[in-house]
A and B are shown apart, each in its own frame.
Chain A
Amino acid sequence: MARTDAVWSEQGTTPDAIEGALRDLLVQRHAEDDKYVPARVLNMIAFVDREWTGEIANRLRGVGRYSPSRLLVLAYEPRRERLDARVSIVSEGEPARGEFGLLRETVVVELGERHLDDLVTIADPLVVTDLPTLLWSPHGHWDIVEVLLALSQAVLIDSIEEPVWRDALDRACGLVSEAYVVDLAWLRSIPWRERVAAAFDPPQRRPELRAIERVILRHHAASTVSAMLFAGWLSSRLGWQPSPLVLQGKQLLGKAHASRQDVALRLEAAPLDVPGLEGLTIGTASGRELSLDRGPGGLHARSREPRGVERTWRIPGASRGEGGILGEGIRQALLRDPAYVPALKAAEAMLP
């Protein structure tokens, strides 16, 4: 259970004063109990609309141990004239005997339009030097993202949150040239990618990758981008040449050119309560078919052999939930996934 250990706040403050307060609070906390030490893993800058600060705080509470070590929330309220700030230091409860306890810092700075020109000089002193910084702007503000990229090594986006999925892919393609992009829409497909990779991993199955002729992706109505990224992943990894998809009703249809045959692609919206993929079917020229579908406690798998024999089984795996996905996004800021950009570019080539 997280425990707030120290708080400081000031109205009409300055970055200098906030930074000084952070240092004082840490010194004070350490002096009170030297088994607490500050975590030094990752800075996260969240640029949010002030009226939604509470909602963002709730989302970040759900990430558990993947909390950034220093979170700088820039809460934006256009007409605000004054810079107000609140600093809190939180520990994860009492450490076990002989162990250290970790402290995490949160700085919330409330600012207005008049501060935007100097945003970098406000944020810069408030991030820990030499730690990687992840930038997150869940309410858009892409012009601000451009500015804050100067302080960041990675940027967190969720491509399914863009109202228009074409814009989402364009945006992601633009950002990857400027920073490492962690896209939650991509991370939601990790279990699917792992399972498809595993299904074709036994050496006797690998040649079937060349024989794939049909891919159907079922997705949440608002998660077309997730399905496109998945199709882009298959294309980029298997050397397919994708071409633009065509929108027909609620489906996106199209083809990718593989070395032996064309691969028919179908992306279809399915009834689903949570964002991301709902299921997939991959068929090969030999008549083999593999389907995976979301179910309670894991995935339902179904295979059909060329002679028509069908088998079903279940693959256990707990859902991470949206809190878990966001936490994974924070964790991934410290890693580098070489598969995302090629998948994104292939998905871009499929845009209708």
Chain B
Amino acid sequence: MAVAAGQATPQIEAENPLTAGLERLPVAPTTLVIFGATGDLARRKLLPALYNLAHDGALPERFHLVGVARKEKAHEDYRKECEEAIRRFSRRKPDDEVLRILLENVKYVPGTFDDESVYSELHKLLGEFEEKAGEPLNRAFYLATDPSFFGVIVEALGRSDLAHHEHAQVRVIIEKPFGTSLEEARELNRRVLAIFEESQVFRIDHYLGKETVQNMMAFRFANGMFEPLWNRNFIDYVQITAGEDIGIGTRAEYYDKSGALRDLIQNHMLQLLCHVAMEPPVSFTAEEVRNEKVKVLQAVHQPTPAEIPHMAVRAQYTAGHAGGEDVPGYLEEDGVPPDSRTETYAALRLEVDNWRWAGVPFYLRTGKRLARKLTEIAVTLKPVPHLAFDQAGSLGVRPNQLVLTIQPNEGVSLSLVAKIPGTRMAIRPVNMEFLYGTSFLSQSPEAYERLITDAMRGDATLFTRNDEVEAQWRICDPIVKFWASTKDGMAHYEAGSQGPEEAERLLREGHGWRAL
């Protein structure tokens, strides 16, 4: 039905009436500046993501890309590097014409990140883009460098008058890890927020860009059947697993400084915990969702040194077999110091001390070179109070388990108990499975495509807020420090196995780690 003349126009300033029904909302004209433009992240993830956005016609109407890195090279050389990276890592075969148009607007600025001339060159380039466009362009600075440069770059942006723009939005996107300790995270937040407003800062946790993680909120808050059970009265324990079957590959230098706890638990896995445990937000705005997640993190008991040996386990893999091949142990991997005390496996038992979750343990585990690649959340319900069936003829009777698989085979599975056909009333568990792949036609975009678009649009829902990062560190920091202070307590597990036996000691009676 046509709207009568004059009815829609009063709303024009408040809301763009042309966006109704469009799946992709407009992104304002933007210049994206990538610091660390020749690094692995830029080559493998960011540039292919930008190409795929261009392919889908999802980049802003006017878009410029500027790469900043140490090495001296001409714009044209950098464009060639971008093209190579896109051709190699893009999820779809590039269209030559689309690629050519994208690369036309790519520039390169060489220099070290503390070199003031880099920023004056950036200032000049950004001004030229605006002059050519005849309008102010939003600016997004993507810090894809070694974390030690985050503060340096942010402060240089501030000194160079690049952190604010009278007529356009300026945003800074900061890769993980956001600090390697609570003190570092606080200090980095202090340095960043001395230059930028929090609303300008987009801290990346690429797990939040995954469709299945986002879907957890739809699963919990759009289905009436789960929420009534989603509390301490019905849930016995929650188990979050992020297992990898591969080793550290060529990442020894990074990984040996980080370890499993900092690499995965402090960020991704605590975010998954938040999604399981958070209260329904009032609305799905960035602030409301993040408020609820912070409440969960603040409710997680901060372990004392005396408690840590009882609630945390660390381990390193030893030589073993994976994928039908002999593989070396962590200490034999290229680039790993032979006396390294870095954990390749970490398991925690956490408690969320609030009304909903009091007394329910949340078991988190992650590791390299485990039996399988698997990321899942398993919610185990309490057993029925009395089982009247024939236990002798029954098989593996256990409480209902709801498993949300993030990868591979994204889906939801619910274990139920059913009668074994026959004359006896014997029972065994069966699974009711839902697989995303069978129920949707669309292919999920890469997490970075979503995150880059959201950052350019200024939607921070899928990014981590300053207090969220600090709350994550508040939980992990005592464990990091305790493990650094002692040589004791490093367990070992064979590559390709389920992990160390010592992880069993975290479990309460009747609980068990799910098989990988």
Contact = CB atoms under 8 A, between A and B. Distances in A.
A96 B437 CA distance: 13
A282 to B, nearest CB: 11
Interface in B84-102: 95-102
B27 interface: yes
B2 A297 contact: no
A67 B1 CA distance: 32
A351 interface: no
A117 interface: no
A200 B18 contact: yes
A334 B441 contact: yes
B134 A311 contact: yes
Contacts of B57: 191, 194-195, 298, 315-318
A249 interface: no
A29 interface: no
Interface string A199-226: 1111100110110000000000000000
A115 to B, nearest CB: 30
A336 to B, nearest CB: 9
A201 B5 contact: no
A314 B54 CA distance: 11
Contact of A340 (B21, B56, B102): B21
B17 to A, nearest CB: 5
B166 interface: no
B101 A316 contact: yes
Interface stretch (A34-42, A53-61, A75-83, A138-146): A34-42
A204 to B, nearest CB: 8
Given A316-B54, A316-B102, A297 B95 contact: yes
Contacts of B13: 203, 206-207
Nearest to B133: A311
Interface in A19-76: 37-42, 65-67, 69
Contact of B9 (A196, A201, A239): A239
B373 interface: yes
B408 interface: yes
A207 B5 CA distance: 16
B439 A41 contact: yes
Contacts of B18: 193, 196-197, 200-201, 209, 234, 237-238
Interface residues of A, number: 72
A124 interface: no
Contacts of B54: 298, 316-317
B133 A99 contact: no
Contact of B441 (A38, A41, A193, A200): A41
Q: Is the interface of A mostly helix, strand, loop or mixed?
A: mixed
Interface in B1-25: 1-9, 12-13, 16-24
A109 interface: no
Given A237-B20, A241-B5, A201 B26 contact: yes
B71 interface: no
A8 interface: no
A317 B28 CA distance: 16
B386 interface: no
A98 B409 contact: yes
Contact of B440 (A41, A194, A315, A338): A41
Contacts of A253: none
B97 A297 contact: yes
Contacts of A315: 57, 59, 61, 101
Nearest to A195: B61
A240 interface: yes
Contacts of A190: 22
Contacts of B7: 239
A209 B61 CA distance: 17
B408 A240 contact: no
A317 B98 contact: yes
Contacts of A314: 101, 104
A318 B95 contact: yes
A93 B9 CA distance: 52
Contacts of A206: 12-13, 16
B60 interface: yes
Contacts of B104: 314
B26 A197 contact: yes
A67 B2 CA distance: 34
A345 B13 CA distance: 25
B449 to A, nearest CB: 14
B9 A349 contact: no
Contacts of A9: none
Contacts of B135: 202
Nearest to B2: A346
A275 to B, nearest CB: 18
Contacts of A196: 18
B443 interface: yes
B438 interface: yes
Interface string B58-83: 01111000000000000000000000
Given A193-B18, A207-B13, A346-B2, A239 B8 contact: yes
Given A209-B18, A342-B3, A194 B95 contact: no
Contacts of B95: 297, 318
A44 B7 CA distance: 39
B376 to A, nearest CB: 13
Contacts of B437: 39, 100, 102
Contacts of A334: 441
Contacts of B2: 232, 235-236, 240-242, 342, 345-346, 349
Contacts of B98: 297-298, 316-318
A242 B16 CA distance: 20
Interface in A230-278: 232, 234-242, 257-259
B62 to A, nearest CB: 6
Contact of B27 (A96, A198, A301, A313): A198
Contacts of B4: 239, 241
A108 B4 CA distance: 48
Nearest to B29: A202
A340 B2 CA distance: 11
A331 interface: yes
B188 to A, nearest CB: 32
A339 B1 CA distance: 10
A167 interface: no
A341 interface: yes
Given A298-B97, A305-B134, A339 B5 contact: no
A258 B57 CA distance: 30
Nearest to B96: A297
A201 B19 contact: yes
A296 interface: yes
B134 A207 contact: no
A311 B132 contact: yes
B55 A317 contact: yes
A1 interface: no
Interface in A165-196: 190-191, 193-196
B24 A194 contact: yes
Nearest to A66: B441
A98 B373 contact: yes
Interface in A113-148: none
B6 A259 contact: yes
B435 interface: yes
B309 to A, nearest CB: 34
Interface string A316-352: 1110000000000011001101111110011001000
A297 B438 contact: no
Interface of B: 1-9, 12-13, 16-24, 26-29, 54-57, 59-62, 95-102, 104, 132-135, 372-373, 408-409, 435, 437-443
9 contacts: A198-B60, A209-B16, A237-B17, A238-B8, A239-B8, A258-B5, A297-B100, A303-B134, A313-B62
